[in-house]
Amino acid sequence: MGGLVARALLTLNNFKPGLISLIVTQATPHVAPVLPTDPYLIDFYDAVNNYWILNEHDLRNITILSVAGGFRDYQVRSGLTFLPKSHYHNNSALSIVSSSVPRCWALSDHLSIVWCKELILATIRAFFDLLDEDTRQITKDPKKRMTVLSHHFVRHPAKYMDSDEEAETTLSGSSMWIPVKASTWTFTVYKETNETFFTFPLVNHREAYSHFHCHNNLLYTYSWIYGCISYVSSNCSGAGDLSWETDLLPPIKTVTLKLEDYPSLSHFVLQVPTTNGSQFTTECEFYNEDSRTRKMLVTHVLSFGFTSNKIKLESTGLVHYVQLQDFGEIYQAFNIYIERHCQFRKEQKTDVYRLRVPWSLEDSMTLSSDESSTRISAKLHTAKPENDSSIVTLNLYTSQECQYEVTVTTSFVQVLGQLIRFHGPSLPVYILASILLAYGGQLSFLVSKGHCVDFDSALSVSAKPYKVEPIVNLCKYLLRYNWFKATWDALFLWTLDTVIQSSQGVWFPLVSLILFFFGISVAYWYGMFFNFSLQLLSSLWIALKRPTTLPKDNRIITPQRLGVSMLLVFISWTTCGAFALLIVNLHYMFKVIQLYSSVRKFPSDFNVVPNHNEEAETTLNYSEQLKNSDACNTPSEKDEQLEHDLSTSLSSKEDTLLSPTASMPANAVMVEAAENLKMHITIMNLLTWIILLSLPSLIFWLKNLRYNLHLDPDPYGAMAAILVFVLEVLMHSSVSSIKSSKLVKIAAQLPLPLSIAIVAFGPMHLYRVSHFASVALLFHVLCCFA
């Protein structure tokens, strides 16, 4: 976050932009916060990014370097570290992944990026080259700053920066000059050697070939390839240093020159320096780019890895290019297998496979030195921009003695990883939406049938994505039309979060539906875990307390409870709203444990409470009947059928309990206690996720408690002040108190539009989710009084 603070300095009124010339950030989420649980944090981001966009002209002399950790950084995904596109217009910003940094070529997690030795050295070398010799400060020339940063972080030519790129030199003297007329050439040095120049005439190769390629594994920082305008008797006049076109790779340095870019040159000259026992190999070749380029269509993401595409590289050579067609979305992920078959190999050689993403500096390198299959993981940090025709390319720097086969297949596990990487922070949105739908279904069942169902039963019946997704997608589609957009703005509605995600290139089809299924699953299993925890805690409570009576005080408001509510409101206003929410959550949990203990204890005494196992079995049987029902029934008809059958079963059970042969007062109390418990468990499930979303605020308050008791500003202060009173009322409420309420039908229907609002406006603004969920609880309290 220090990188964002550095950019925020410029927004201060009295701060002079001229004081800063260079900003280097590492793993800084410039685009948006990782977890948008705080409205103040989002406002801060908007203020900083908008300031840089609106004042682009005034800030043109500030150079920014942003380095991301890559796929090993599980805290900040690399797409968030790429600076806004507006900074690229004036060539003052550079965003890159550490795996693409020369002489680093390594991924790093969020902590190691600050002490990764390779990245530290690259940064320090850049700092030295950025110094102005006269002022001994960072140079004021923006063009030079970008040149230096590109030298050390984008493409390293295996030369020092202090060399003059445009200088011409004359190559002559007593060194040995050897002409090379073949299109393919290899030279190996085993022992000491004197300086030698090898000349490659271009006249005979311009028509047959398009490129000239060389690589060697002598990584000394010296000039090693030149272009001659005129070459006569070991004298190269007008020689230009072409070594600046070199690209440094992990075990080799390579240079690829396009012949038509050098029409005035007559020769390429390769220099082999004087060595003292160093062993190295230099290989060069002329080749035609079309013959070395193969197009390969990637497999569909829904193939789940059962299909694959394969190509065989027929021609032998030093370099091959495989263009991966239709690869440009962030939800795509592939395993690329490269098999090589070599014959008559004299020594073990290392191949380099480079995955190049043309619209982003996120290249990755893979080395192979054995004959087994090499696997490359291919996935993106950023999606291909619109109207961009570039193609992701796999560059293979190979051995001439080998044949290669390239196979690509979809990796379903990595597709799920991309889904979690880009949309994992939005999962609480769909969990809370699912719980809200279950909560609304529970209230609807109470209104129509007079009974409460368990949380898991309500979840299986009511939490249906088709109730929410079509409306959100329809709104997104209609926002393309001006009349609907004008109406939307007139109602002062927020921008749909899916629209924001689409503009950032991270939205893809079916992602919301997949997250909804994940959310329902998490809500269900958390509900099972919560019930299991209640059983353990209630068993402990029964063993310690041994309750002898059921709670008899059915009053919602008492002076004591009102005093507790006022105390919690006071705590939320003077300390931290999240802290007050945590206290009331623990208080609510204690009440639920007491009630659960009583419901477990008294059935054995009175033998009058419904058998929960039978009820669960009944619910399961009806769920199976629902799955096996007529396909012509609509989803709503299936839900009504299940609710009717389940209601009939529960009604018959309660009629048995309330029969004259039983004890009427005990039956009535126990049935109401069981009904209340079901409703309280659902509210506790909802409250737990509200507390989890407020945890960042609580953690920040705890870490700064020694400086200030009050959290200012407090993102959850106002909501907590209302919610603590609401929860204090709810924990003492009963199902019977809301059955006859005039507002209970509204409270039962309200969770559906709230769930739609959560999915529409919550994924990029998680703090809104808690507010929407609190509205449902507030209406529940109003039902207790109306």
pTM confidence score: 0.85
| % residues pLDDT > 70 (the chain) | 86
Residue 272's pLDDT is: 85
**Are 527 and 535 within 8 A, CB to CB?**
no
pLDDT band at 96 (very low <50, low <70, confident <90, very high): very high
Residue 153's pLDDT is: 95
Q: pLDDT, tens digit, for every residue of 162-176?
A: 656 666 676 766 778
pLDDT band at 675 (very low <50, low <70, confident <90, very high): confident
Q: pLDDT, tens digit, for every residue of 283-331?
A: 999 999 999 999 999 999 988 889 999 999 987 889 999 999 999 999 9
Q: Of 427, 623, 415, which is closest to residue 516 (Cα–Cα)? A: 427
Residue 721 has pLDDT above 60, yes or no: yes
Question: How many whole angstroms separate alpha carbon 481 and alpha carbon 126?
Answer: 50
Q: pLDDT, tens digit, for every residue of 397-412?
A: 998 888 899 999 999 9
Kindly give, in sequence order, each residue whose CB lies less than 8 Å from that of residue 608, ignoring residues fewer than 6 positions away. Answer: 657, 662, 663, 666, 667, 670
Q: pLDDT, tens digit, for every residue of 344-356?
A: 665 667 889 999 9
Question: Which residue do the tokens 């209609």 mark?
Answer: 478
**Choice among 234-238, 248-252, 588-592, 726-730 with the minimum mean pLDDT:** 234-238
Residue 630 has pLDDT above 50, yes or no: no
Residue bearing the bigger pLDDT, 619 or 401: 401
Residue 553 has pLDDT above 80, yes or no: no
pLDDT band at 605 (very low <50, low <70, confident <90, very high): very low
Residues forming a β-bridge with 320: 396
Residue 650 has pLDDT above 50, yes or no: no
Residue 651's pLDDT is: 44
pLDDT band at 606 (very low <50, low <70, confident <90, very high): very low
In this structure, the number of other CB atoms found within 10 A of the CB of residue 220 comes to 13
Q: What is the mean pLDDT of residues 132-142?
A: 90
Residue bearing the bigger pLDDT, 132 or 84: 132
Residue 634 has pLDDT above 60, yes or no: no
Residue 638 has pLDDT above 80, yes or no: no
Q: Of 491, 510, 507, 487, which is closest to residue 499 (Cα–Cα)? A: 507
Q: pLDDT, tens digit, for every residue of 443-452?
A: 999 888 888 8
Q: What is the largest CA-CA distance in the chain?
A: 122
CA distances from 478 to 481, 488, 504, 635, 762 (A): 6, 10, 20, 26, 19
Using DSSP's 3-state secondary structure scheme, residue 610 falls into: coil
Residue bearing the bigger pLDDT, 759 or 87: 759
Mean pLDDT taken over the chain:
85
**Are 646 and 457 within 8 A, CB to CB?**
yes
Question: Which residue do the tokens 């990637």 mark?
Answer: 298
Residue bearing the bigger pLDDT, 162 or 252: 252
Residue 709 has pLDDT above 70, yes or no: yes
Question: How many whole angstroms separate alpha carbon 578 and alpha carbon 311?
Answer: 58
Q: What is the mean pLDDT of residues 431-436?
A: 96
**Are 421 and 415 within 8 A, CB to CB?**
no
Residue 63 has pLDDT above 90, yes or no: yes
Long-range contacts of 601-608 (CB under 8 A, 24+ apart): 601/542, 601/547, 602/550, 602/666, 602/670, 602/673, 603/670, 606/663, 606/666, 606/667, 606/670, 608/657, 608/662, 608/663, 608/666, 608/667, 608/670
Q: Which of 259-263, 269-273, 406-410 is most confident? A: 406-410
Q: Of 426, 507, 479, 512, which is closest to residue 768 (Cα–Cα)? A: 426
Q: What is the mean pLDDT of residues 691-714?
A: 92
| % residues pLDDT > 90 (the chain) | 56
Structure letter (DSSP) for residue 266: -
